[in-house]
Amino acid sequence: REAEALRNLYNSFLARFTETKEQRQVIEADARIIARAESPQRPSSRGLEFFLAIGFVVSGAAGVGLAWLRETLDRGLRSGGELERQLGLPCLGQVPHLKGIAGKGTKPHLYLLDKPRSAYAESIRSVGTYLRMSNIDDPPRVIQITSAIPGEGKTTFAASLATLLAKSGQQTVLIDLDLHHPSVARELGLEVEHCLVDYMLGDAALEDVIHTTDFGLAVLPVRRQTADPSVLVSAQRLKQLLAAMRERFDYVVVDSPPLLLVTDPKTTSAQVDASVLLVRWQETPADKAANALRELDAVAARVAGAVLAQVDVKRQAQYGYAGVGSYYGDYKKYYVD
């Protein structure tokens, strides 16, 4: 019995060995080690300097591409030369944005009074000179200030021009004819009880609606928006108003609404001696300015020229354009800001 038990145990071990051997043949891959892996002695790819150089080149190219795209999409005008070439109008002047010179919150017409030898004052004075020279035999006395679209600074410019004329000893009146969005009273800080609309409706006498500032500028302001401005600014009523102003004042400056939004400035254009188109530096699209000019041409308006307003003097100088920016940067000491 003992021999039989040993024989059975042997056969069991032999069967298990045979089975294990067959399994190893199935699991083991048909491969062998050729060489042992060794630790690398140097980097397998290029160094950090190479990738930094590549990054610098790529970022530089991206910056140039973005700058080119911005220049391509930017349709604004940056210099008097560009304005004259694209609009076919003489540039009467380039007026700097006061925020870059005097700081934020400064009222332009007050700054002009406080700093008569500033770059801002000289730019307004230059526009006045060009206006008088636009017709030497019969200089324009009734001048309309308009623009293509809102937000170009026409009211600020009109107030500054009228202030300069009044300060020079000329009897000057500033009329707010932007009945859709009147802002002359706010610009000059006037408290208005009776306004131009009251006079046009026959509810007040002319004397009651003429306000005079501390520096001698007469103003016909509008207190609030009007329900139907086109009726008030009819050709006959406007003609009578401007005729009365012409008799009493040396200069009449009219702040009109944007040309591409309403018809009022086209009616006014037929009654004034000259119209000035205000174009905001780098903001007013050239095609919109050209469309506004066509609106004036359609009513045979006498257009004296255009003014490039709110010029960022530092950025204009960086662009390399000739204008108030480059002059202000090169000859800053000549002005008293």
Per residue in 141-188, pLDDT (tens digit) is: 999 999 999 999 999 999 999 999 999 999 999 999 999 999 999 999
Residue 70: its pLDDT value, please?
47
Q: Where are the domains of the chain?
A: 73-330
Tokens linked to 14: 């032999």
The answer to whether domain 73-330 has CATH 3.20.20.140 is no
pLDDT at position 67 is 46
Dmax over CA atoms of the chain, in Å, equals 149
The model's confidence at residue 227, banded by pLDDT at 50, 70 and 90, is low
Residue 251: what residue type? Y
Determine contact, residues 91/306, Cβ cutoff 8 Å.
yes
Is the pLDDT confidence value at 10 over 60?
A: yes
Nearest in space to 272 (alpha carbons), one of 299, 254, 250: 254
d(C-alpha 257, C-alpha 260), whole Å: 9
Per-residue pLDDT band for 316 (boundaries 50, 70, 90) equals low
pLDDT of residue 46: 61
Q: How many CB atoms lie within 10 A of CB 168?
A: 13
Structural contact between residues 173 and 210, judged by C-beta atoms closer than 8 angstroms? yes
The pair of three-digit structure tokens given for residue 224, joined into one six-digit string: 């609030």
Structure tokens at 236: 């006959």
Percent of the chain beyond pLDDT 90? Answer: 51
* C-alpha 171 chain-centroid distance: 33
Q: Which residues, at least 6 apart from 122, have a Cβ–Cβ distance to it below 8 Å?
A: 335
Structure tokens given for 34:
């050729």
User: Is the pTM higher than 0.95?
Assistant: no
Which residue pairs, CB below 8 angstroms and at least 24 apart, start in 236-241? 237/200, 238/177, 238/267, 238/268, 238/271, 239/271, 241/175, 241/199, 241/200
Between residues 122 and 31, the one the model is more confident about: 122
3-state per-residue secondary structure call for 133-191: HCCCCCCCCEEEEEECCCCCCHHHHHHHHHHHHHHCCCCEEEEECCCCCCCHHHHHCCC
Check pLDDT > 80 for residue 261. yes
What is the model's pLDDT at position 126? 93
Whether the predicted pLDDT of 249 surpasses 80: yes
- Residues 89-124: tens digit of each pLDDT: 999 999 998 875 555 667 899 999 999 989 899 999
Q: How far is CA 270 from CA 100, 228, 299, 332, in A?
A: 37, 20, 7, 41
Q: Do residues 140 and 253 lie in contact, with contact meaning Cβ atoms separated by under 8 Å?
A: no
Instruction: Give backbone dihedrals phi and psi of 191, rounded to 5 degrees, phi first.
Output: -95, 115
């004819």: which residue's tokens? 177
Reported as a pLDDT band with limits 50, 70 and 90, residue 11 is confident
Q: Is 205 or 315 the better-scoring residue by pLDDT? A: 205
- Of 41-55, 252-266, 275-289, 322-336, the poorest mean pLDDT is in 322-336
Average pLDDT over residues 198-205: 88
Sorted by sequence, the CB contacts under 8 Å of residue 160 that are 6+ apart come out as 95, 108, 109, 112, 120, 124
Residue 215 has pLDDT above 90, yes or no: yes
Residue 150 CB: number of other CB atoms within 10 A? 14
Task: Report the pLDDT value the prediction gives residue 73, as an integer from 0 to 100.
Answer: 46
Q: Where are the beta strands (DSSP E) in the chain?
A: 91-96, 142-147, 172-176, 211-212, 218-220, 251-255, 274-280, 303-311
